[in-house]
């Protein structure tokens, strides 16, 4: 007979920033928040972050610990989290983006600890040690899973593909949206979302776009996101003399309107986990150009669900974008195949059904 007492789960994040991991956690909580088998509470270690109000709208209890960055006083915040988990008898701690102190906090509290690893990148020894303090480790795609398997035993390691809700199409006025973002009409719109960081390869995309504009003078590029490389990228755009064609628009509130009107979606990353933005583009039936790194390879089969290029190669990136612009039939077919793959493997209901099994089997 099942217990009528819900399983108490604390979800731990550094901050509610705009990013793939945070987007995944939001979709998980939104889908599972009414499941009577669980009681969720969201814990933010550092500052609230720009998505605080969005998460608050879910109606799930939330706590922010305001831990200082790069200070020994940060350990006191983790100690307070540990005491809280023990005092209120949580059964599970689910950790995201805090691979060292997050799992250690759960272990010291004596509760089952699940850590989701979101990025396929080299993992330093101290991070490996931290991850190993978890009871279960989730790789967000097959590439991340394989990376973890190089130092983790299979009894702790789980594969759980990212997932998002299916997009329900609605009408957007293309010309009105292009004017809103300062894009000339007519325009062939190329789109990319992500943090403005070295990882995302926006410097490479901007270099590539010089060739795209020469190929198609109506081509425009919108990059949505914020991050530490913003000023450098702004300089690169001006130096490349393409500032009329490339817009850095910051964090975008309604990403759907840009997905819906774009002609090609691009991921130029140097490394990745399993990008939520690629899933979003697939759900909108958009042709995708992506670098052959990490989980991009899970989603994009070359000339089937999109076009794959080597990372840090602006020439190949430009050629692939141009290939879609000059071959609408290829773009349409790749978009259709990508959408079919998304519905078959990466829908949020499938993802959350597997996550529920992980929760139930861990206690």
Strands 264-267 and 288-291: parallel
Taking every pair of Cα atoms in the chain, the longest distance, rounded to a whole number of angstroms, is 69
Assigned domain for 303 exists: yes
What digits encode the pLDDT tens for the residues 216-235? 999 999 999 999 999 999 99
* C-alpha 229: how far from chain center: 18
Task: Dump pLDDT digits (tens) for 330-356.
Answer: 999 999 999 999 999 999 999 999 999
- Do the domain assignments include residue 14? yes
As a whole number, mean pLDDT of residues 65-72 equals 94
Determine phi and psi for 135, rounding to 5 degrees: -80, -35
The answer to whether residues 187 and 160 belong to one domain is no
The tokens 């990212």 sit on which residue?
162
Quick one: average pLDDT of 158-173? 91
Rounded Cα distance, 62 and 82, in Å:
16
Q: CB neighbours (10 Å) of residue 61? A: 12
Residue 305 lies in a domain: yes
Instruction: Assess whether 145 and 185 both reside in one domain.
Output: no
Q: In residues, how long is the chain?
A: 363
- Which carries the bigger pLDDT value, residue 131 or residue 153? 131
Identify whether residues 256 and 289 lie together within a single domain.
yes
- Would you say the pTM of this structure is higher than 0.85? yes
Q: How confident is the model at residue 300 (pLDDT cuts 50, 70, 90)?
A: very high
Number of C-beta neighbours around residue 343 at 10 A: 13
Q: How would you label 31-53 residue by residue, b for 16+ Cβ within 10 Å and e otherwise?
A: bbeeeeebbbbbbbbbbbbebbe
Q: Is residue 1 part of a domain?
A: no
- End-to-end alpha-carbon separation of the chain, Å? 15
Q: Is residue 247 part of a domain?
A: yes
Q: Which region among 17-21, 64-68, 167-171, 309-313 has the lowest average model confidence (pLDDT)?
A: 167-171
**pLDDT value of residue 1:** 41
73 and 130 in a single domain? The answer is yes
Decide: 326 and 144 in contact? Cβ < 8 Å. no
Number of domains in the chain: 2
**Residue 219 within a domain:** yes
Residue 71's CB: how many other CB atoms inside 10 A?
Answer: 10
Q: Are residues 136 and 254 in the same domain?
A: no
Q: pLDDT (tens digit, 9 = 90+) per residue, 77-129?
A: 999 999 999 999 999 999 999 999 999 999 999 999 999 999 888 899 999 99
Query: What's the pLDDT score for residue 2?
Result: 53
Which CATH number covers residue 248? 3.40.50.2000
Q: Is residue 223 part of a domain?
A: yes
Residues 77 and 146 in one domain: yes
Whole-number mean pLDDT of the chain? 95
Show the DSSP H helices in the chain as ranges: 20-32, 52-56, 73-87, 101-109, 125-131, 142-149, 174-180, 202-215, 230-239, 255-261, 276-283, 296-299, 314-326, 328-345, 348-362
Three-state SS sequence of 52-96? HHHHHCCCCCEEECCCCCCCCHHHHHHHHHHHHHHHCCCCEEEEE
φ/ψ (deg, to 5) at 91? -95, -30
Partners of residue 289 on adjacent β-strands: 266, 307
Residues 161, 250 share a domain: no
In-domain check, residue 28 = yes
Q: Which domain holds residue 339?
A: 174-345
Residue pLDDT, tens place only, 191-224: 999 999 999 999 999 999 999 999 999 999 999 9
Q: Is the pLDDT of residue 319 over 80?
A: yes
For residue 171, the SS3 value is coil
Shared domain for 159 and 178, answered yes or no, is: no
pLDDT given for residue 120 in this prediction: 85
Sign, Cα dihedral of 278, 149, 160, 34: negative
User: Could you read off the pLDDT of 282-298 as tens digits, one per residue?
Assistant: 999 999 999 999 999 99
Same domain, yes or no: 294 and 146: no
Residues 188 and 55 grouped into a single domain? no
Q: Are residues 133 and 192 in the same domain?
A: no
Based on the domain organization, do 183 and 322 belong to the same domain? yes
Q: Is the pLDDT of residue 3 over 80?
A: no
Q: What is the pLDDT of residue 208?
A: 98
């Amino acid at each position: 007979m099942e217990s009528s007492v819900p399983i108490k789960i604390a979800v731990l994040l550094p901050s509610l920033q705009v990013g793939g991991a945070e987007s995944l956690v939001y979709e998980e909580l939104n889908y599972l928040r009414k499941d009577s088998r669980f009681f969720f509470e969201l814990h933010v270690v550092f500052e609230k972050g720009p998505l605080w109000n969005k998460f608050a709208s879910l109606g799930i209890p939330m706590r922010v610990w305001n831990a200082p960055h790069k200070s020994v006083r940060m350990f006191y915040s983790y100690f307070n989290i540990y005491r809280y988990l023990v005092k209120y008898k949580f059964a599970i701690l689910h950790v995201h983006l805090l691979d060292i102190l997050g799992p250690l906090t759960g272990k010291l509290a004596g509760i089952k600890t699940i850590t989701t690893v979101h990025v396929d990148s080299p993992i330093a020894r101290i991070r490996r040690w931290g991850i190993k303090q978890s009871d279960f480790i989730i790789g967000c795609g097959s590439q991340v899973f394989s990376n973890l398997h190089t130092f983790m035993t299979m009894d702790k390691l789980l594969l759980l593909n990212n997932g998002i809700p299916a997009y329900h199409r609605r009408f957007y006025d293309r010309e009105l949206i292009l004017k809103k973002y300062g894009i000339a009409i007519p325009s062939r719109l190329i789109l990319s979302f992500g943090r403005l960081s070295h990882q995302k390869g926006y410097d490479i995309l901007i270099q590539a776009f010089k060739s795209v504009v020469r190929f198609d003078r109506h081509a425009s590029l919108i990059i949505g996101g914020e991050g530490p490389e913003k000023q450098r990228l702004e300089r690169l755009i001006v130096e490349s003399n393409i500032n009329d064609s490339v817009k850095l628009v910051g964090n975008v509130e309604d990403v759907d309107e840009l997905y819906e009107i774009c002609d090609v979606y691009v991921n130029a990353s140097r490394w990745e986990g399993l990008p939520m933005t690629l899933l979003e583009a697939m759900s909108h039936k958009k042709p995708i150009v992506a670098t052959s790194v990490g989980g991009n390879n899970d989603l994009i089969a070359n000339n089937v669900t999109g076009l794959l290029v080597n990372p840090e190669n602006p020439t190949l990136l430009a050629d692939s974008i141009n290939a879609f612009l000059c071959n609408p039939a290829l773009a349409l077919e790749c978009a259709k195949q990508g959408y079919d793959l998304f519905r078959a493997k990466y829908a949020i209901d499938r993802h959350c059904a597997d996550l529920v099994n992980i929760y139930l089997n861990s206690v």
